[in-house]
Amino acid sequence: MLYNRQLLIVVLLLCSILLLVYSCAHNPYAKSNKLYKQQSGSLAGNIRSIPNQLVIDSVVTPAYAVGTTNFDLRKPNFVIIHHTAQNSCEETLKTFTLQQSKVSAHYVVCKDGTIYHMLNDYLRAWQAGISKWGNFTDINSSSIGIEIDNNGYEPFSGPQVTSLLQLLDTLKRKYAIPAANFIGHSDIAPGRKVDPNAYFPWQSLAERGFGLWYDTTNVAVPPAFDPIVALRIIGYNVKDSVNAIKSFKLHFVQYDTSRVINETDKKILFDLSRKAM
């Protein structure tokens, strides 16, 4: 009886070892995971170091280094939502694990609702690119990037949206991200980006507290109202006002592909600009 029990324990241990070896050997991203650990370890080493002496001409150099004891990690303050513009989650995962691609995101949400957390939230992903929202120009340094598996011309799946809402709720609570700071790639890069596409359910997200939405009931637009100023107040870069209008409509008036502001748009912009102040 004792022998059988010992034999069973040995068999179970062997099975566990084999399962571990199999899972490691068959992880197609084992190599990129190793690189992740190396790169994050290098960054951690830089953070652990006492600040170096700053040498500036005509400035007195102190006799010794002094590191403060009062600090914590920088906190993300925006969430930028993208569509992948690729044909599958696996294709996107591969893209984000190739060093030559120079693009990444913190999260990838697949069509079946699976969420891949690809980068620690406190680290800077290469996802926003050249962009601007309000007075913020280095969006990568203050945001979390979420890529949703979608080729850009199709609706988003139910499981995707459900998982996304759960993820956004977690991020909002964890980092106290303001509702107005859940925005799309097209919002921060007018004329350069069009994601997420016109099928994206911005209104549903806003109803859950992720992004602004409008209510034009009983809205009376003042005669002197300037819609371009309103776009700027909301956050859009209006240097190219035509593209700013296009990005605004992609988010808030998705059935309208024109680049002109009509009376209904003015009511929407007036209401949104009041909420953004």
271 φ, ψ (degrees, to nearest 5): -65, -45
Q: How far, CA to CA in Å, does 38 sit from each of 32, 45, 126, 266?
A: 10, 11, 18, 52
Q: Are 86 and 150 in contact (CB under 8 A)?
A: no
Token digits for 5? Answer: 């029990």
Query: Of 90, 91, 147, 154, which residue is the catalytic one?
Result: 147
Q: How far, CA to CA in Å, does 248 sit from each of 95, 118, 277?
A: 29, 29, 17
Q: Is 207 a catalytic residue?
A: no
Q: How far, CA to CA in Å, does 93 sit from each of 88, 103, 147, 153?
A: 9, 11, 10, 20
Residues taking part in catalysis:
147
